[in-house]
Structure 1
Amino acid sequence: MRPRPVLRAALASVLALVALSGCSADDEADLRYAGDYSSHPPLAVVGYPSMGTLGITQQVVWHIADGKAGELTSLADPDQDKAAAEKTADNWIAAFRKGAGGKVTAEFYDEGSYRQTVVLYLHGTSQIKEIHIRPMSVDGKGVWRVIMAEPDPGEATAVAPWVPKTPGELGSKTAR
């Protein structure tokens, strides 16, 4: 998929500004996000994400689609076991890479100020993946991180009984 002219112009402007002003770590992250955004299919959304929950969910889908286990693992809750997060990233990529590269709908459940359940519907493969994200402080900054504690491939691909088969069936309210 080729970037749209408006996105290309915006990205070129950002790159020029960064080149003229120097590049901080935040600028580099913004550039990576802009590049990822313009090179992936748009994520369809159901429910009520915050800017933070939407941003990290997009990154999860993009890193799965691109097979970037290291980048996916970097989104994990830092309080988790690192080996389990790495194995979970490998499992998610092995199971969902093909579907994550196509049309994806993310349904955001419940209120998202302190944690959020997100169900990913991978339309091309008819797969469903539930993820959990929560806010935390990392290096003094408020960020969202993903719970990645599914080192068993069966657990990584299991669909909870409450998860609907199609987006919107529960009105973005968990039925647990």
Structure 2
Amino acid sequence: MSVDVGTRLRFVRERQNLSQRELARLTGVTNSTISLIEANRMNPSIGALKRILDGIPIGLAEFFAIEPDAPSRFFYGVDELTEIGKGAISYRQVGESLFGRSLQILSETYAPGADTGRVPLMHDGEEGAVVISGRLEVTVDGERRVLGPGDAYYFESHKPHRFRCIGTEPCHVVSACTPPSF
């Protein structure tokens, strides 16, 4: 089975509202090379493709997981959420793949004492959530708050942030971020 790299590249580039010229500037790959790839007149090496995808940004795995003819799906049962992180913090994503999506929705469960780490997270976009149960300490740009059931947060994700479960019971949060970045 051959993979239509050109059509996929055009799709992810246009989804980010980037012209071929803008993507070339971001990645250091020539505009003509991007044009040839999108026209399926050139097959890039994995290294060159990764460099181009870093400018979008999208990982190689997600890029090759694209199923252009996949039927639309609107509903997901609790057992159909995709686990994308397991351990002291469980991240269960709505939908199998976020290709072509602008929003990522997660059902997060933090074990007592679970923490996203001492180094704050930072990335492009926005994120928000509602605490369903338990208590979650949220630190954003140096400001710290403990949130309980029904409390919420919403901030620009480029601000340093981290999360920690407070207390003896697990904390459950339903969150969303745009663009998908987890």
TM-score normalised according to structure 2 size = 0.27
Structure with the bigger percentage of helix:
1
Higher Rg of the two aligned structures:
2
TM-score normalised according to structure 1 size = 0.27
Structure with the bigger percentage of strand:
2
